[in-house]
């Protein structure tokens, strides 16, 4: 088993923080150009990128946002015609969230912002290195899931 030196852990945590800040700035800029708030963009992107997770509870659970953050965003997106909700027949407390056709352009532009950032971060890596990075992320993600 490999042991990671403390300075590498510090570097990893710093890089994670910088990546999150860069991502948030990029998405916020694109959202602003689209007339959306950042939380609305976050919800749109989550639903577009994870169609199998289509409830507000899913957004809260998988992205770590507060219920209020998601609830207000969903309400606003419904008012703007970018999202519809359908109540679950099995559980009246659950509402399924569906992107509308009107959400297509904002989603496309927000996804493009994601792709541009990830391309910038990985453009100097070989395909092999990117594949290795993805495997490492999966392994770390699995280990983190065991801590919950």
pLDDT at 88: 86
pLDDT at 6: 76
Along the chain (148 residues), what's the average pLDDT of each consecutive run of 10 residues? 76 93 98 98 98 96 94 97 94 93 98 97 96 93 88
CA distance 5 to 130: 23
Smallest Cα–Cα separation from 31: which of 88, 96, 113? 113
- Give Cα separations from 7 to 3, 13, 32, 117, 144 (angstroms): 12, 10, 37, 26, 20
Domain ranges of the chain: 6-122
Cβ atoms of 23 and 95 within 8 Å: the answer is no
Question: What is the fold of 6-122?
Answer: Arc Repressor Mutant, subunit A (1.10.10)
pLDDT at 73: 98
3-state secondary structure the chain: CCCCCHHHHHHHHHHHHHHHHHHHHHHHHHHHHCCCCHHHHHHHHHHHHCCCCCEHHHHHHHHCCCHHHHHHHHHHHHHCCCEEEEECCCCCCCEEEEECHHHHHHHHHHHHHHHHHHHHHHCCCCHHHHHHHHHHHHHHHHHHHHHC
């Amino acid at each position: 088993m490999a042991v990671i030196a403390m300075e590498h852990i510090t570097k990893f945590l710093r890089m994670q923080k910088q990546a999150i800040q860069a991502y948030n700035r990029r998405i916020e800029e694109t959202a602003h150009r689209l007339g959306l708030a950042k939380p609305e963009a976050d919800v749109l992107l989550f639903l577009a990128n994870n169609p199998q997770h289509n409830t507000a509870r899913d957004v809260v659970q998988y992205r770590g946002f507060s219920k209020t953050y998601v609830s207000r965003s969903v309400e606003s997106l419904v008012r703007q015609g970018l999202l519809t909700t359908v109540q679950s027949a099995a559980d009246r407390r659950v509402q399924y969230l569906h992107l509308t056709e009107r959400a297509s352009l904002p989603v496309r532009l927000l996804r493009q912002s994601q792709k541009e950032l990830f391309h910038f971060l990985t453009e100097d890596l070989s395909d092999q290195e990117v594949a290795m990075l993805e495997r490492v992320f999966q392994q770390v993600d699995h280990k983190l899931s065991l801590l919950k």
